Amino acid sequence: MKIKAKLLLMQALSLFLLGGILVVASIVVASGELDVRMEETLQAAVAGYNGDVNYLRNEGMDIDITVFTGDTRSESSIEGAVGTKAADEVIEHVLNQKETLYETNVSVNGEAYYGYYIPTDDGMLFAGKPRTDVQRFMRIIIAILCGIGIAGFLICLLITMIFSNSIARRIEQAAERIKVLADGDLSGEVAEDSGTSKDELEMMSRAVSQLHRELKEIVTAISGQADRLNDSNVQFNNRFTNIAANVGNVNSAVEEIALGSTSQAQETTSASEQVANMAEVIDQNAKSVESLEHAVEKMDQLANEAKNILTELVAINDKTLSNIEVVSVQTDATNSSAGKIGEAVQMIQSIAQQTNLLSLNASIEAARAGEAGKGFAVVAEEIRSLSEESADSASQIEAIVQELLNNSNESVKKMNEVNQDAQIQKNKLNDTRTAFDGLKTEVDSVSVASKDIYRQTERLEQQKNAINGVVEQLAAISEENAASTQETSASMHALSGTIDDCRQETVELSNLSKNLKEHTSRFKL
């Protein structure tokens, strides 16, 4: 769609929308004004009532009057309305509340009216105009407004077409000039700029002319600069090629130095780790020597305690041997006493046998004496009983003495064995004390050696710390050298990359200069 048609369509739509809004607004305003005027007319009709309900009809006005007695129409200019009742809302508002009422849609005998009610002493008074008459008048007004809107729309549309043709023609001229510039033809004559008009289209025409002049100057300058840029680009490319070759040689040397520095840093780091491991071993050895020193001191203390205990054990063993000898002597004495007790028991048994024989003889003699010897027989019987009891007790004592002798002999035997064991224990204790004396001597030697090792370990610790410091310094220096060399190598790589990028950019510049040349060649100067 051309600009002319677009302008016409835009203006036509705008005018049509504006006309429609104005017509609708006019109809709304007219309708509201008609309602106000109708209310004033009906109010005046009611106020002018003179007792004749047809006085307005007689004057040729299409307004009816109705008189209400209570809520019932008693007189009316409306045919068939007499005897009908008013609506409930009318009765409530006018009769009960004694207020006037204006209604735009009152139905009387099936016909709609504009109505106005006022209360009276015995009822109401009504003035009404049929809605059909009012609507007919409203349609006439709407038709008139629509006719005016259409006429105004056509007149404005005609004026718009005239201005649109002028604007479209000038825009088409400017578009034609821009198309010529777009095709690259800058050889045409540039219109002179009067600089007096403030019209936007004229300003656009002047801007196109200015664009023509400036574009011609720019293309001419770009064409010359593209040639010089191409020559400079060739020189830059050759120089960057030489720089790239030199940077490649330097980069190779830096990489070799970086590899050597990295290897040196790794070896130094490995040596530092070995020194650290050796330091850990020395520290552990120092701790072990210190533990050994404590252990030797503890062993020496325990050896002294064991020696004292062995001395006490030897003394106790000697005392035990003395006591065993005393117990052995006492056991032999007890054994001798037990033998003497046995001899006394045999004597008691012999006496008991003799006493038993005497009691038997006494019993025989008492039996021979008869009644005179009964008392003696009783004594003889008692003596015989005592003799038997003595014999029994002697037998028990003999058994006990025999058991005592057996136990005493066994005790003597055991005491002899204990004496022998105690003697053996004494010899072993002496041997153990001798061994502990030798162990004490060796422990003292180990203590002296341990202290000497501890002193040597402390000196080794000092040497280790010195070596570790030197190795750490060497490792730090090697790492710094390696890092510096790597940074230098990375910088050289970056420089090499930058040079390659520059070479690439020179290629791009060469291509751009060629493209500029090709594009500027499209313009006809």
Residue 516: which pLDDT band, with cuts at 50, 70 and 90?
A: low
Mean pLDDT within 109-134: 89
**pLDDT at position 22:** 81
Burial of 494 (0-12, 13-18, 19+ CB in 10 A): exposed
**pLDDT at position 246:** 63
Distances (CA, A) of 438 to 40, 296, 442, 450, 452: 151, 15, 6, 18, 21
CB atoms within 10 A of CB 516: 19
- For the beta sheet containing 72-76, the strands, ordered from the edge strand earlier in sequence to the opposite edge, are 72-76, 64-69, 123-130, 111-119, 101-108
Phi-psi map region of 367: left, alpha, beta (phi>0 left; psi -120 to 50 alpha)? alpha
Mean pLDDT within 347-352: 78
Mean pLDDT within 322-330: 74
Using the predicted structure, report yes or no on whether residue 422 has a pLDDT greater than 60.
Answer: yes
Angle at 428 between CA 424 and CA 431, to 5 degrees: 140
**pLDDT at position 226:** 63
pTM value is 0.33
Contact 482, 332 (CB under 8 A): no
CA 53, CA 63: separation in Å to the nearest integer? 10
3-state SS track over 239-298: HHHHHHHHHHHHHHHHHHHHHHHHHHHHHHHHHHHHHHHHHHHHHHHHHHHHHHHHHHHH
**pLDDT at position 387:** 75
Model pLDDT for residues 391-410, shown as the tens digit of each residue: 787 788 878 877 877 877 77
Using the predicted structure, report yes or no on whether residue 505 has a pLDDT greater than 80.
Answer: no
The helix (H) or strand (E) run that includes residue 17 is: helix 3-47
Give me the chain's average pLDDT, please: 75
Contact 390, 352 (CB under 8 A): yes
**pLDDT at position 498:** 72
Residue 101: which pLDDT band, with cuts at 50, 70 and 90?
A: very high
Mean pLDDT within 444-472: 69
Residues contacting 58, CB < 8 A, separation 6+: 52
**pLDDT at position 127:** 93
Contact 80, 109 (CB under 8 A): yes
Mean pLDDT within 289-301: 71
- By three-state DSSP, how is residue 133 classified? helix
Model pLDDT for residues 140-184, shown as the tens digit of each residue: 888 888 888 888 878 877 887 787 777 777 777 667 767 766 666
Using the predicted structure, report yes or no on whether residue 125 has a pLDDT greater than 90.
Answer: yes
CA 423, CA 436: separation in Å to the nearest integer? 20
**pLDDT at position 65:** 92
CA 345, CA 348: separation in Å to the nearest integer? 5
Model pLDDT for residues 25-72, shown as the tens digit of each residue: 878 887 788 888 888 989 898 888 888 888 888 888 888 999 999 989
**pLDDT at position 267:** 67
Contact 191, 212 (CB under 8 A): no
Residue with tokens 């409306």: 78
Question: What residue spans of 183-199 are helical by DSSP H?
Answer: none
